[in-house]
Structure 1
Amino acid sequence: MPRKILLILIVFAIIFALIPIKVHAAGITVTINGQNVVFEQKPIVKDNTTLVPMRAFFEALGAKVDWDWRTKTVTAVRDGISIQLVIGQKIAKINGENYELAVAPQVIDGYTYVPLRFVGEALGDEVVYDNGHIIINSIFSISNITSEKDLYILIKNALENTEEEITFTPGDSYNSLIRKDNSSDEIFSRISDIVELVLSHHPEVGYIKEWTVSVNSYNNVIKKISVKFGYIYPRSEVKKMKDEVNTKAKEIIEQIIKPGMSDIDKAKAIHDYIIKNTKYDYENWLNNTIPPESYTAYGVLIKGMGVCQGYTAAFNLLAQLAGIDSLGVSGTGLNYGVPMPHAWNMVRIDGKISYIDVTWDDPVPDQGDNVIYGYFNITEEQLAKDHSWDKEKFSGKYFDYK
């Protein structure tokens, strides 16, 4: 090759090397939590990976951002999740663990760009691509759960407020507890066990018929868990039912609780009121046609009709208003020698735990004001003669899960 031609080719090669490689700047739109987000520096697609301006994106997601110019490291923190990205490197860190990136963070036209999907999912957010439109559902306001007690209280409060869904991030200690065998089924089972426990302890808040558990994870690390509740009636109707029964419960307490009463006298007054004003829903029980409200405090206190779960819920609600510690217990009771599903109350009075089964103290068929006290304020040993239950799930520690 002539020397002159070779020199020309070298010059062209040098010039080409100095020209920045253009990446595809697509007409991408981004929505975060239902709000359209417009970045001053437009999102860019490179090697089928969407890159976004670093600081603007992290701040839109509610993350705190730190930039170390000496190491060219970006650190973002939100809800206990820490992400570290280094310019030009395809290895990122999430809470100290290494993850490989498809495209490295890089400086383009003087601005630092980071991979959108990796960042969003690393924070536990949902990232959905839809024909050039990116939808991100951010969860930076969710609860961080570090123990069974935390989750128990979160679920209980959500049901008290008739919430449709809860979302939380499991802390490291609780994360390891709920996934001992590292399977999704185990996670679903453990979360469902807590929901069932709350509903058993607090039937007064349990106007739900079903729930679903979903898990969002990234590279085998759980980022968030959601529990969605399905109520027995539309939520607006359930809220009205709760308002009505809460108003009624307060009226009952004003009527039956007198100044100077001891806690045991208060418990007796509540026990007697429920029995005198409620009929066991025996016909529907026989025909297997029990309506949903018969399982609730609403059925007992408003309609005057219920089954054991409703009696238990009503006692819980009234006891709490009277300042008495009370929890529901689910187990079985012997019905003519045959174990049948049943519910009753465990109370803590003067520091001592005893049991009250209002349902079994209410004669069937109904006998008006006739009240039985065979299952009022009895010991565990006495109750265990014809009742069975998991004593670990229904232990005194749960009185303090508030």
Structure 2
Amino acid sequence: MFKKCSIFLILISLVVVFALPCQTLAANPGVVIDGEELSFLENPPAVVNDRILVPMWVIFEAFDMQVEWDWYSETAIAKKDGLVIRVTVGQREAFVNDEEIPLDVAARIMQGRTMVPLRFIGDAIGADVKWDSSANKAIITSPEVIEEQQLQADTSTKIYFFPVSNGESALIQMPGRNHVLIDAGGVEDGAKLVKYLQALKVDDIELLIATHPDNEHTGGINEVINNFKVEKVIDSGYVHDVWLDKAFQRMLDEVSIPREEDNQQTLSFENASIRFITGKEKWSNPLDDDAKHNPDDYSVVCMLEVDGIKALFTGDASQRLERWLTNRDVKANILKAANHGSSSSSHFTFLNNVKPEATIITPGNENRNGYPHLDTLNRVENMDSKVYRTDLQGIITVTIEEGKYQISTEK
């Protein structure tokens, strides 16, 4: 029978052994995790045969692990996020998620305390363990801090195109942990999108761009706002449904998120810029009355530029909006095709202006409308632009660094 850690700690203290061959350790060593020295109270670290003995419960508590004890087999079990570590007294092997791992020193009970090699614990949880002889301390860096350090050291900019069910969403992740989310898929995609963002260690979203009022693009925004701090929203300013627009504004007001309209502004980041090509003035002289009623005509179109590499995001830009863009600076290395690859967009004249080397099409996994249309695929391929599709290839990742880009796919 397993006992929870709170009961177990009353009955027995677990101690970890830190094996340091070829070194003679001084007495009273310390242990530091992520820059903070641990306090051991009545069970301080000890040195036995050049091994540091540290109460295991202190170590596991520092890593937020749940500890259980099997009295019958004298086995300690530590768990966290699907990771299970099992160490049995007297055995020269331990188990990590059922994989047998040999131990330099068998787990043992000394003076009522269970001891296992700390090096094994560090390797099992993905921590970095070093010995500072001058300070007489074991220095441990947790896997979370290691991952954060790696993210901070990454100087590339990445664009992730997510395979949401029947809509579209893309994340721009820049050095310095700046995040820009363009659209959030449909209502049914919100929870899935949150998981994607959490897996990428997104904390704050500096900018959320809602290209136009369409459930396939903005339906998941509520879930995003409920799970992440969003600093600002930019949308087209077009009101297709007064009631829905007021509801959207109330949602932003409740969490004090400022809202702006696209107005051909340029936003600068650490090594990148986002230039909004569209603005509300584009239909001051509409071509026909229908322009007043089609949200696609008001899609936000913006250009990301990083180290000379350009990526054009078009929302659901219609053929009418593409014509308006004809004489604008829209040439780009990478094009996110408008309207999920519909034949109503991505016409030859527009494609000829963009001249994309790669085209990303986001039909949605459920693909209810049969996107992309064959006409669109033919036009893109005739431009010698390589096509990537989220419905066939899953998450599409564009990595930009030092004036070059690389595209990889999940499938």
TM-score by length of 1: 0.46
- Greater C-alpha Rg: 1
More helix by share: 1
TM-score, normalised with respect to structure 2:
0.45
